[in-house]
Amino acid sequence: MKTRFLGFSAITVLVLGGLLLSSTRAAQNANSPKPAPDTQATPRLTDGHPDFGGFWGGGGDEDAAPATTSTGPQNLGNHDLTRTADGSILFLYLGADGYEGPIPLKANQPPYKPEYMAKVKAIADTKYGGTTSLDPQMECKPLGIPRASVGNMQIVQTTKTMAIMYEAAPGPVFRLIYTDGRQHPKDLDTSYFGHSIGHWEGDALVVDTVGLNDETWLGGDVRGADKFTSIHSDKEHVVEHWIRNGNRITYEATIDDPVMFTKPWVIAPRHAHLAADDDYIQPQMCTPNDKDHLVRPTATDQFKCVWCNPGTLYGDSSDKLTGGGK
């Protein structure tokens, strides 16, 4: 019986998970047959629109150029997986620099107004080893939109509704998208996933979401790249495009926040792939009991790197090898 090993624990998943998960799902599913998305017909509902139903996995940006060399590691088309020269698979290794360090502002960060950018940077300064106790998911709060977007999820769809059941976001949560022509309620209460209505533009499902509370974070534009990406207001408005091409979903989103942003923010496309035939959703319970034990950086204790090991594929950076690897 396979184990996905994605049960949420603040320390285990976010700090140690980058190296430990390589022995579970990556190893088990590395050779699982997955039909090529471009060669499979896109299934359709009775009304002719694409059917997104099925169990999906992913969330990485496999359109990024693979880093391949004759002797070095090979990116497997996803930021999470790297195959080394001897055939081993490494999960979510980010190099000797890890998550932290003097990282400049990412090219596609949300366009925060100056007063909110200052708050976002203050939050980023509390990160240690790629995470912080300030992150709402440490309290088991649902990830919200667009942070949850696509990943391990079961989709059940009819001509009137699309239900998304997330395996771990950060615990088992669900989202409904209404496609029956209704409008947003006038007296809408805010919630973690808001109120979503969808309409079709060709084969693209365009989803409009409002009524989102301010208790979630936006999440990074790509996995591990969220140093300056976090808060939003309860005026957040998200427009998503869900596109199914064979056995692949492409997810695009534009986020507007008139309170905190100077203009709408367009994230990089994200993707999910139809899982192997024998795979299925395994809801993971979230436990926030590690939150109080997370380390915060101080003037004398700074996170140096995720893995420091000179002379190996993990990188050899002299300024990281002294005092690093905390």
Which helix (H) or strand (E) segment holds residue 73: the answer is none
The pLDDT value given to residue 236: 98
Whether the CA torsion 289, 293, 297, 298 is positive or negative: it is: positive
Residue of 276, 309, 317, 273 whose CA lies nearest to 76: 273
HSE at residue 306, side-chain half, CA atoms within 13 A, is 23
Residue 56: strand pairing partners:
153, 274
The CA distance from 66 to 181, in Å, is 42
Query: Which residue in the block uniquely carries the two structure tokens 């996905």?
Result: 4
What string of pLDDT tens digits covers the 326 residues of the chain? 445 544 444 434 333 333 333 333 434 444 444 545 556 899 999 999 999 999 998 755 544 333 333 344 444 444 455 566 777 766 544 444 444 444 444 457 899 999 999 999 898 888 877 778 889 998 999 999 999 999 999 999 999 999 999 999 999 999 999 999 999 999 999 999 999 999 999 999 999 999 999 999 998 764 444 556 789 999 999 999 999 999 999 999 999 999 999 999 999 999 999 999 999 999 999 988 777 777 777 777 766 665 555 455 544 444 443 333 33
Q: What is the pLDDT of residue 59?
A: 57
pLDDT of residue 305: 60
Which residues have CB under 8 Å from 299's CB, separation 6+?
none
- Cβ atoms within 10 Å, residue 126: 14
Q: How far apart are CA 296 and CA 125, in angstroms?
A: 9
- CA–CA separation, 98 and 95 (whole Å): 5
* Residue 282 neighbours by CB under 8 Å, 6+ apart: 4, 6, 167
